[in-house]
Structure 1
Amino acid sequence: MTRHAPQPGPAIRTSALTKTYSQHGTPVEAVRGLDLEVADGELVAFLGPNGAGKSTTLRMLTTLLPPTSGSAQVAGFDVVGQHRQVRHAIGFVGQGNAAGPQQRGRDEVVAQGRAHGLTRSEASRRAGELLEAFDLAEHADRPVATLSGGQRRRLDVAIGLVHRPRLLFLDEPSTGLDPQNRANLQEQVVRLNRDLGTTIVLTTHYLEEADAIADRVVVIDHGRVIADDSAHRLKSGLGDLVTLGFDSPGQATTAAERAGRLPGATVALDGARLVLRVPHGRDLAPGLVADLAAAGAAVARLEVAGPTLDDVFLQLTGRSLRESEQTTDPATTTATATATATEGAAA
């Protein structure tokens, strides 16, 4: 099969990319005017609550769903007009397991290689490389159903990499894994990016996952990008959370008056407790404690916490991302059903 060379430019470029569904006769915008560029070699996390539009975006970029409007190029190819070339250039690991439960893991990797045009010997050799790299060699001849959740997820990634794609898309790769297997998979993803230079785009609603491994975090809510930067820069604009405990509400009131003079500080009183959000709070805390003691408001308890991505989401939307995970956007159900049907047709 002939493969056309991609055009130079970013690994991903979208312009006003939109996906609209009809739900009970009412249009629902799952993705709203997405403008995005991802450079070669980046590791980008799409972070947002369930139903935010993360998976719908990935399905459009991987040609499993056609956009309603706007455009997207992946590896230099248009996702609508050149969908075959896009599929040759990418690997995609969806939320479900890719391998048949009664098949052997090795056979599934080999079969995927053959589907991408590798000869039988090439596919067998490539399968051996990947199974070794993902610590699956000793389990490769077992039925997939007998593998652990973490092993099955690593097998999914191996299947997605068999044809050496320029880009790898991972849709909620850690969902359902225990903390140890989640950490192991994250290490494998980082190694692919750092050591092999694979461009990786993943969706996640795990704050810690996006914070730990991504070069860049794209925060999505209700189908729109509401923030796009490194996790460090997104958090650094918020300041540290400093919690001060006192022996009496009067002392806390005194402390609030003095702490409120700090540049950029926001103060909240709760009885004998003072909660202070302030830039460089960790560095300022020792001096603040000394100042308050001199003013007759000795600090009985002190806690300093750095900002989190949940704090970023809270500032941007007025609600916690962790709380938002408990709800499901109506568009999610429609998007998932449509994507599943499209995925089956594309297979």
Structure 2
Amino acid sequence: MPGVKTQPLDRIDQELLNLVQVEFPVVPAPFASLAETLGVGEDEVVDRLGALKKNKIIRQISAIFDTRALGYKSSLVATRAPADRVDQVAAVISDHPGVSHNYRRDHEFNIWWTVAVPPTSSLEENVDALHALAGAEATRLMQTIRMFKIGVDLDMTGKRPMDAKTTLPAYRASAKAGEVLDDGEIAILRELQEDIALEPAPFAEMARRIGIGEDNVIGTYRRFVTEGRCRRFAAVLHHRQAGFVANAMSVWKVPEDRIDDVGMQMAGFAAVSHCYQRPTYPDWPFNLFGMLHGRTKGDCEEAADAIASETGVDEHAMLYSTKEYKKVRVRYYTEDFFAWEREHLGNGSSA
């Protein structure tokens, strides 16, 4: 997107960002652990992370949960809005507490958003209500059929080629959908999903607020990961401020008998942050989605060319983000979601 000023970063900032994007250490003294890896002092790591947040390079550092494994239902949604009402339609969608991402993209379906609802709610009812409230022309649920990859890994050094392969761990299937957390687990989850405090022992402070031991917080997090409820603890960046101003949703028309192989090949590219098989419609023929991030549109095109060359799939489109309306992490077990349902659907319990 034009007009975005990026921040100059030195080598240590670049290496620090590369580390915390992949895995922030969930240990009693996480900043000391990062400092040891980088060969600098703990205070310097804290100061650098604080500056990176202040300068809007880092958006948040917290646990990244698997929506389905928590019993939540979620979907990508494509909406077509009248050209003269795109911003107004997007504003109504963004107002929903379960909507975490909302972008304008250069396509006939010009608003793309993600929404998650708790186990007791209907995904379809929430999406239908938003379609009607916003006055959209068309809305298509793009629910995941198969996930091949999820995890942003931006190379802050600028040294990694666009056809490089990923360093993220392979995707692990989530736990059985619908498993219910108990009250103690929900209390820990609510702490882990918040932006971590930049203090020497942040997990001990979480434990103090709940009234339990630090080892309980850390142990429960590790169990969540083992069970597939949580993917990892990591930083999410403001991509554009970090220099990644091009954001393309590449969509591919892949023969059904090749979807598994092509999906795994695409997921292997470091430039691809998310890779999913999704449904097709009469007005939407593409069944494989791969999110691409680059410093320029040329970077994204280079990555797409490399994917096409490796997979032999040529029929694809590139939907570039032209406006970001909303980007937050999904927050689970919150009262504001149920309040929205009570107002707009006439139902909704409480968190």
TM-score range, shorter chain: under 0.3
- Relative contact order (alpha carbons < 8 A, sep ≥ 6): 1 or 2 greater? 2
Asked which structure has the greater CA Rg, the reply is 1
TM-score, normalization by structure 2? 0.28
